[in-house]
Amino acid sequence: MQFAVRSPGTDPDQWLQGLQQIPPGFTGYSLDCPYPLPDIPAATVRALRAWREERGVTYFIHTPVGKLSLGSLDPVVRQLSLQEVKRAIGLAAQVGAALITVHPTPASGCAQVSDQTVERLEQEALAEICAAAARYGVIIALENMPPGSIFAQRYSDFSGLLALLLEVVPLGITLDVGHAHLAQVSLPGIVHRLGHRLCHIHVHDNDRSGDLHLPVGQGTVDWPDLMRALIQIGYQGFMELEFQGHEAHMASRHYLENLF
């Protein structure tokens, strides 16, 4: 089992500051991207590469939540969203990132026929960016979202995500444990349904009262059940802790390692 932490902010200077504070035993680091994604200074890119080459850090990229709309009915918005993800792919190629987490199209509030159109446009956009990312050996992974948010229910109960996996073969899934717990999804069940398409995991806890991003064990997620399912499918990816605090990171890693 491999563990990652997320950068403390979206400013590239914060990326480098966070790298210097990665806890022992963590070998992955997620770059939380600003919107819009600017040209990253050459010195920052060189520093990120040096950390990867000298210390064996695996990078991930996290695109902004709710800012991109790959299935938008507005062609201008859709094209701008595509361009933004392609800029993230360019950054991944520069720094050697392994995976980019993207988010579903926010709910449009349109009629059902429009929702079907959104799904088709989103499928086409995801196929395009998966093909672009594959040229650099980068995986595109779609994240499940919490219920009652700006995203449609199909992205929290996994029905929409599973449908997309059937249509976009290279697409992976970033399983957000806290979001799935809020949606009252069976974590072992969804792990088995995703199988090898499960590429990355966001780790945080809650008590189903909200998207609290608590450390492991401070909510009601059944972590032993989840870890058993991950062992059964032979999961080899990273678990990215999506909360802050050195002590919380260390305690959560030790707990999950013991379960694994």
Residues 6+ apart with CB under 8 A from 83: none
pLDDT at 96 over 70: yes
Q: What percent of the chain clears pLDDT 70, i.e. is strictly above it?
A: 98
Going from the N-terminus, what domains does the chain have, and what CATH number goes with each? 2-259 (3.20.20.150)
pLDDT at 111 over 80: no
Mean pLDDT across 52-72: 96
pLDDT at 113 over 90: no
Return the closest-CA partner of residue 216 out of 177, 189, 260: 177
Mean pLDDT across 50-58: 96
Across all residues in the chain, what is the average pLDDT? 96
Return the closest-CA partner of residue 63 out of 122, 107, 6: 6
E runs forming strands in the chain: 2-6, 28-32, 58-62, 99-102, 139-143, 172-176, 198-203, 238-241
Q: What pLDDT digit, counting tens, does each position of 124-165 carry?
A: 999 999 999 999 999 999 999 999 999 999 999 999 999 999
